[in-house]
């Protein structure tokens, strides 16, 4: 048999070495197959089963979704002048994971941002965090952003945000409030109307490219906030703040407050509280300067409160204007306590009691009223409750229940002690006299609109209640005219206009709990023109210094300056009965929503309420006729003074949109046509 073959089987013999070689090849092939299957399984696991998980992990490392606040809506004055707007502002952020040298990046950024040593330390700690996104500095000036951008630093990016900007700076700032970095309203109207103003926020995904450079993608676009229009007149607000600021400086007062109202509607035309602040950098000012004192500070009003006492006494019929009142030669004793007057008066007519501001004379009249009637009257005039103005921080003042009054309380309250009022409460109470007897709810927001211009809501005058009769209001107005003509308010005169008002000098409580003989609040509240009040102006100065620092010395001339500018800006005609005037009336929709109206004389016919037919306005006073005409959609032209004698169009004429009516007034108590007589002349 040939060598190399098995003798039994005849098969070739295989050497042991060759057999081992074949086994190794088989094993390697098997391992390779297993390895390949393992890789395929792992790839299947990664690419299919765990695809979403690892995709999210990758995005988490390279993407960051941030929230960018929407552009806040604008706040405008009644004439569409801006008080608060939003502007684009660059913000700087960093991706610490993309920064190779945090220390060098910190030094470069600090130079551009002007950081101190302490701020550099905080920035370095921020850049060393194990995060993919951190804010460096938000809402920076464009020049600062350009300086940082020019550095071309790795891991540093920019995002455009919306920053609140107040172009008038500190004008109206305690009313407006301010906004934080996250576009969140933090005070004032910005806080109260935050839901309207803030809009809908945007989502921006910051994504890094292959070179770790940031890019921005908007996932959800922002929606701009709503526009808010105020009742405030920026021009009147400006002159009010300038005059108030100068009065504070001239008198050395701690602070001052001023409110200007339209008494016919309750609209706030100006509201000033000084010192104030710049809302563009509100954090630089102390908190006390950010307070709206006109609604938040409660103080004893002093003698301006005698308006309420006088109105209540005349309403209840316990006194008449020319009745002689015993003024006790300058003092009165009640429950063993002596109350001294500011001057010695033996007896005065009630008219002179108010004109000369006799405390004792007012106390005598209040005693005739009694506790319950006087308390009810104070409540009706709006004291002891918030006005409903809608601004955060408003207080209710202080009006205690009669059960807690002492034997002196009735007397003290009659001349403005033992009661706390806010400026807006006092101005609203004075407006009752100016508009013929109605407490009008004050309001400061006129309307709210979508960015498209669609009206969301509109606010209109609201007459909460009738407090006194028109005849009583007229009598009180006569008393307050005399204050300016011959009494303590002579410095409140405005050239060309009749002015009515009341001075006040309210002693402050000192550290011992007693009334100070030095420190006081000097006030004046008045109406102009007194014959047909279009404005109520209240001013107060806290702790004025100097030899002559009472209400008639410092507050009355401040009133005169504000009122003089306001009537000029509003083109209110002077008190000249021979002068032709044109009334600026409100839209019929606005007037129709208010219950404010003077009563028609009983013997006169009831006017036609059909808005399509011209009503009979003869025999009505100017204000009554103007309001009824406005309800019918008519603008009004006036000639003369007194009550309506003739009208064009004639009663019963069909009305068309846009029509106006001309009214000729006569001082006679009876219209030329023989219509019913008027119970009161136009004030």
| Residue 419 DSSP class | -
CB atoms within 10 A of CB 278: 16
Cα angle value 522/267/292 (rounded, 5°): 50
pLDDT value of position 590: 40
For the four alpha carbons of 28, 29, 34 and 37, in that order, the dihedral sign comes to positive
Give the Cβ contact number of residue 62 at 10 Å. 18
How many other CB atoms are found less than 10 A from the CB of residue 475? 22
**Beta-bridge partner residues of 223:** 200
Burial of 355 (0-12, 13-18, 19+ CB in 10 A): buried
| DSSP E strand boundaries for 95-213 | 134-137, 156-165, 202-208
Q: What is the pLDDT of residue 583?
A: 36
- Three-class SS of residue 422? coil
The two three-digit tokens of residue 232, written as one number: 């405030």
SS3 497: strand
pLDDT given for residue 360 in this prediction: 96
Nearest alpha carbon to residue 559 among 520, 526, 522 = 526
Task: Name the β-bridge partners of 670.
Answer: none
Q: Name the residue with tokens 């604008």.
A: 74
Per the CB < 8 A criterion, the answer to whether 322 and 293 are in contact is no
Asked whether 502 and 303 are in contact (CB, 8 A), the reply is yes
Cα(656)–Cα(155) distance, integer angstroms = 69
Q: Which residues of the chain have pLDDT under 50?
A: 1, 577-606, 669-683
Helices and strands of the chain, counted as H and E runs: 20, 25
Residues 6+ apart with CB under 8 A from 313: 319, 350, 365, 366, 368, 369
Instruction: Give alpha helix (H) positions in 370-451.
Output: 371-380, 409-414, 423-434
Token digits of residue 332: 């009165």
Q: Where are the beta strands (DSSP E) in 133-246?
A: 134-137, 156-165, 202-208, 214-220, 227-230
Residue whose tokens read 């455009």 = 160
Give the span between the Cα atoms of 255 and 276, in whole angstroms. Answer: 9
**Chain position carrying tokens 């630089």:** 284
**Helix, coil or strand: residue 318:** coil
Q: What pLDDT does 669 receive? A: 39
User: 423-434 vs 470-486: helix axis angle to the nearest 10?
Assistant: 110
CB atoms within 10 A of CB 600: 18
Peptide bond between residue 529 and the one before it cis (omega within 30 degrees of 0): yes
Residue with tokens 């993919």: 132
Separation CA 642–CA 621 (nearest Å)? 7
């Amino acid at each position: 048999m040939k060598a190399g073959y098995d003798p039994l089987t005849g098969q070739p013999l295989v050497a042991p070495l060759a057999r081992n070689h074949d086994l190794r090849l088989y094993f390697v092939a098997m391992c390779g197959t297993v390895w390949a299957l393992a890789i395929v399984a792992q790839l299947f696991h990664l690419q299919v089963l765990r695809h979403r998980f690892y995709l999210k992990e990758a995005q988490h490392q390279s993407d960051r979704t941030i929230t960018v606040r929407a552009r806040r809506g604008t706040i405008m004055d009644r004439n569409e002048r801006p008080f608060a707007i939003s502007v684009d502002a660059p913000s700087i952020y960093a991706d610490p994971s993309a920064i190779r040298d945090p220390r060098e990046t910190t030094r470069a950024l600090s130079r551009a941002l002007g950081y101190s040593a302490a701020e550099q330390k905080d920035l370095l700690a921020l850049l060393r965090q194990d995060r993919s996104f951190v804010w460096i500095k938000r809402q920076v000036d464009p020049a600062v952003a350009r300086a940082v951008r020019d550095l071309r630093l790795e891991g540093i990016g920019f995002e455009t945000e919306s920053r609140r900007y107040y172009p008038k700076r500190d004008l109206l700032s305690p009313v407006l409030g301010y906004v934080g970095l996250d576009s969140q309203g933090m005070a004032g109207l910005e806080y109260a109307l935050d839901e309207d103003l803030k809009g809908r926020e945007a989502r921006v995904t910051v994504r890094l490219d292959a070179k770790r450079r940031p890019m921005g993608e908007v996932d959800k676009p922002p929606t701009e906030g709503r526009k808010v229009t105020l009742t405030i007149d920026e021009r009147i607000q400006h002159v009010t703040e300038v005059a108030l600021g100068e009065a504070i400086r001239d008198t050395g007062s701690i602070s001052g407050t001023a409110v200007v109202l339209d008494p016919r509607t309750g609209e706030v035309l100006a509201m000033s509280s000084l010192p104030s602040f710049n809302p563009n950098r509100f954090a630089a000012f102390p908190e006390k300067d950010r307070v709206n004192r006109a609604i938040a500070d409660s103080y004893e009003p002093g003698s301006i409160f005698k308006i309420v006492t006088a109105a209540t006494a005349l309403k209840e019929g316990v006194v008449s204007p020319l009745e002689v009142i015993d003024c006790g030669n300058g003092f009165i004793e009640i429950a063993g306590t002596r109350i001294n007057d500011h001057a010695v008066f033996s007896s005065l007519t009630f008219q002179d009691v108010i004109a000369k501001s006799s405390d004792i004379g007012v106390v005598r009249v209040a005693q005739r009223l009694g506790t319950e009637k006087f308390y009810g009257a104070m409540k009706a005039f709006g004291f002891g409750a918030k006005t409903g103005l809608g601004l955060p921080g408003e207080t209710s003042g202080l009006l205690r229940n009669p059960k807690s009054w002492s034997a002196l309380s009735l007397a003290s309250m009659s001349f403005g002690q033992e009661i706390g009022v806010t400026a807006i409460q006092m101005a609203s109470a004075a407006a009752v006299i100016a508009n013929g007897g109605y407490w009008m709810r004050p309001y400061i927001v006129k309307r709210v609109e979508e960015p498209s211009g669609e009206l969301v809501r509109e606010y209109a005058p609201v007459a909460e209640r009738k407090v006194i009769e028109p005849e009583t209001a007229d009598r009180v107005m006569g008393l307050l005219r005399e204050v300016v003509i011959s009494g303590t308010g002579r410095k409140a005169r405005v050239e060309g206009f009749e002015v009515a008002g009341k001075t006040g000098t309210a002693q402050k409580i000192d550290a011992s709990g007693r009334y100070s003989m030095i420190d006081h609040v000097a006030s004046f509240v008045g109406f102009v023109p007194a014959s047909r009040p279009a404005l109520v102006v209240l001013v107060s100065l806290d702790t004025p210094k100097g030899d002559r620092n009472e209400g008639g010395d410092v507050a009355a001339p401040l009133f005169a300056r504000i009122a003089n500018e306001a009537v000029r800006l509003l083109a209110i005609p002077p008190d000249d009965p021979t002068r032709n005037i044109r009334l600026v009336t409100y839209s019929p929709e606005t007037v129709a929503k208010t219950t404010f109206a003077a009563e028609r004389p009983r013997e006169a016919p009831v006017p036609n309420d059909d808005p399509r037919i011209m009503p009979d306005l003869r025999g009505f006073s100017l204000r009554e006729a103007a309001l009824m005409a406005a309800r019918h959609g008519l603008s009004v032209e006036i000639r003369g003074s007194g009550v309506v004698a003739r009208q064009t169009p004639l009663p019963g004429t069909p009305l068309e949109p846009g029509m106006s009516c001309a009214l000729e007034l006569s001082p006679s108590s009876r219209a030329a046509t023989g219509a019913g007589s008027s119970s009161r002349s136009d004030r």
